[in-house]
Structure 1
C-alpha cells in the first residue's frame, strides 16, 4: 500500500525546488471565503503551508503534525492503529483522545463561512460544529487543543516555528518583516499559510470516476448508473436533500454537501462512551455563536467525496462500513431495517433524540438490497483517482 511518506517525499522535493476581534454570527457573511480556488501549488504561501502541515515539531512532544490526523495517503483522515478503530485520533501525548471523528481535509476549502440563513438555520464553517469560520481559523485549533497537538498557546506555536531560521526568513518575506515577533500576528500567519496549502489542487483534484464519467473519459457500470440515478432522485431516496449543492459561490462542480447542519439520529458510540464517560455531544449547539437549543444534535453535512475510503462514519465513528450507513438511513422508511449489521443488535437510540430531521429522512420508499448495493457502488465512484487503490483493499 502507498504510504503517507511517499506523498510527503514528493512534496518535500518540490519545496526544495522552489488577532482579529470576535465576530457575531450575524456579521459573518457566506462570501467571506476566497473564490479563487484552487490556489497554484507553487504559490509561495502554499509552499510554506505544506512544510508547516507536515512539521511534527509543532506539537507538544514533537511527534505529530496536521498531516498525522489528516493523512494524505488516506483521503486526509486518520487511519492509525490503536485509535479506537479509527473513530477518534490520538493526541501528541499518545494517550489523549477526543470524542469526534477526524473529518477529511479534502475539499474543505469550498465550505462557505459559518453564517445563519434567512430561515434561521446555519450553514458553512469548519469543524463538525462550524465553530471556525475559515480554513485559517480552523488551522489554529489543533495546535493548542489539549487532546491533539497540545501546545499551551498560539505564542508557543510561534516560538516553535522561530526555531527554524529558514521559516523566519520566509515569513518575513511573505507576511512582513518581524511578523513572528508578534505572537497574534505570527500565529495568524502560520494558520493562513496552512489554509492556503489546503486550497491547492492536492486537496481537490475532482478526478474521481464520477468526474471522469462526466467528461466522457470513462463509463459507469450499470450498477453505478443505477446508484447515481437513485442518489440524485427526489422520489426514491433522500440522499440529495443534503448531499447536493445546486450552486456554489466557490466552485461549479459538485461537492456532495449543502454545508448545512442536520440531526439524523446517530446513536452514541459505545467505545467512546466507555473511554470518556457518558458526555452527550450536542454538535452545533456547542458552537459558541449558537444559543438556540433546537440546534442540539446537529452536525455539519460532510462532503461525500472519498467517502468509501474515509470510514469510520458519522461524527463519532460509530459505523465502520459504508453499507451500514446506507442501511441506517433506510431504516427511517423501511420497517424491516431493525438491526445494525455490525453488531447484530437493534439500532441503538439516538445520542440526541430531539430535533431529528424526520421530514428529510422519511423522503422516499424503502430500498431493496439491489438498490442499497447500487447506491454504495455509486458512492465508491466519488473516490479521487489516487485513492482508488484503497477500494481494492476493502
Structure 2
C-alpha cells in the first residue's frame, strides 16, 4: 500500500507529482529533475509547475534510521570533540516532524509541493481508487474513511512502513562488502586510505558528526543526526528565481516549533553520507555541485591554500548565518590534495550497489 501511495501522482493538486517525483527510487531517492541549465536542480519545483522550494530535497534513502526528534546527549566516536548536547533526529532538515509518519503527511498539504488544499481532499483522491478503498478497509478498519484524520494517518503510516523496507537501505556498498570480509583489496585502494582518514582522530574530524555506531558496524549510516551550522553560504542563484523576499534567512533548526533559542539559528541536521556520491547537489540549499567542493569547503576553515571555491573561481562567500558557526568542531589539520581525493573515493564507496553506475569521476579516478 505504501509503495503504491508513494508513486501516486493523483495525490497532488494537478495530479502531476508524487512522493517519488522528488524521491526517485532510481536515483537514490532524490529529485533528479533537471533545471534550466541541464543540471539536477538545487531545489524542487512544485505540482503547480511554478513554485520552487528554498531547500534541497534530501534523499529518502536510509531516512528510517533517523531517530525520533529529541533533545539529549551523545558520546562521540573517534573524535576529540567531546560529548554532544542538543537536539538530534527527526525528519526534514530542521527536524520539525518527529518521525517518518509525520514527514509523509507534510508534502501533500504543502502549497509549494503537492499542493492539496486539505486532508479531506487527499482522502477523497484515495477513495477514487477502488483498490485503495478495499486495502484501507482491510488493513485498518471498515470505517476508516468515516474519519478524515484517521484515513489520512493510515496513508502516512503506510508510506512510512514502505520507507522502512530494504529498498531504501540495502547496506551493500563496496564499503559494506569490505567490512563483511568480501572485498579484501579495498584497504589498498584510494577508498581504503580515505576510510583511514575519515575515522582518524589525528587527521580529520569527519567522524565527529558522521559516525553513529562503533567501527565496522553493519548498519552505520554515517550521520550522528545532530544539528550544526557549518557556515554554508546562501544559494543566491536559487533565491534569484524562487521569489524569496530580500533579506530572508533560513533559520534551520530555529524554525522547528520545539526550539526557541536563537543559538539554534542556521543549524541543520547532519545528513547521511550513504549514496552521497550520487545525490548531488550538496548542502541544505544545494549550493555546491561537486563532492570534492564540499571537502574543500570544510578544508578552507583550516587551510589558507583553499581560499577559492573551485566551482566559481572566486573566494568562498560568507555564511548565511555567520553568528552560530560551529568553528570548534570544524577545526582540523589541513588536507593535502591526495587526502582530498582519498576522502572523495571513500565517500564514493558508500554507494549502494544499484546506484554505482551513476557515479561520475569528475576528474578523480579511484580505481
Q: TM-score, normalised by structure 1?
A: 0.85
Q: 1:258 aligns with which of 207, 213, 224?
A: 224
Instruction: Between 62-71 and 80-89, report the one with greater CA deviation.
Output: 80-89
Q: 1:376 aligns with which of 325, 341, 344?
A: 344
Query: What residue number does 1:233 align with?
Result: 200
Q: Does 1:333 align with 2:302?
A: yes
8 Å contact from structure 1 (residues 83, 89) kept in 2: no
Which digits, 9 at most, give the CA deviation of each residue in 1:13-59, with x for residues without a partner?
A: xxxxxxxxxxxxxxxxxxxxxxxxxxxxxxxxxxx000000001000
Query: What residue number does 2:311 align with?
Result: 342
Distance 1:95 1:319 in 2: 23
Distance 2:283 2:189 in 1: 29
Q: CA deviation at 1:354?
A: 1.3
Residues 279-294 of structure 1: pairs in structure 2 closer than 5 A: 279-294=248-263
Distance 1:59 1:110 in 2: 27
Distance 1:370 1:231 in 2: 14
Which digits, 9 at most, give the CA deviation of each residue in 1:132-165, with x for residues without a partner?
A: 1010000000000000000011111111001111
User: Counterpart of 1:117 in 2: which secondary structure?
Assistant: strand
Query: What residue number does 1:56 align with?
Result: 9
Query: What residue number does 1:33 align with?
Result: none
8 Å contact from structure 2 (residues 179, 218) kept in 1: no
Instruction: Between 96-105 and 116-125, report the one with greater CA deviation.
Output: 116-125
8 Å contact from structure 1 (residues 230, 375) kept in 2: yes
Query: What residue number does 1:91 align with?
Result: 46
Q: CA deviation at 1:195?
A: 0.3
Moved over 3 A (4+): none
Q: Does 1:81 align with 2:49?
A: no
Structure 2 residues without counterparts, runs of 5 or longer: 74-83, 363-367
Q: How big is the alpha-carbon RMSD for the aligned residues of Structure 1 and Structure 2?
A: 1.5
Aligned length: 344
Query: What residue number does 1:354 align with?
Result: 323
Q: 1:183 aligns with which of 148, 155, 166?
A: 148
Q: TM-score, normalised by structure 2?
A: 0.91
Distance 1:358 1:104 in 2: 27
Query: What residue number does 1:20 align with?
Result: none
Q: Does 1:311 align with 2:264?
A: no
Q: Does 1:270 align with 2:236?
A: yes
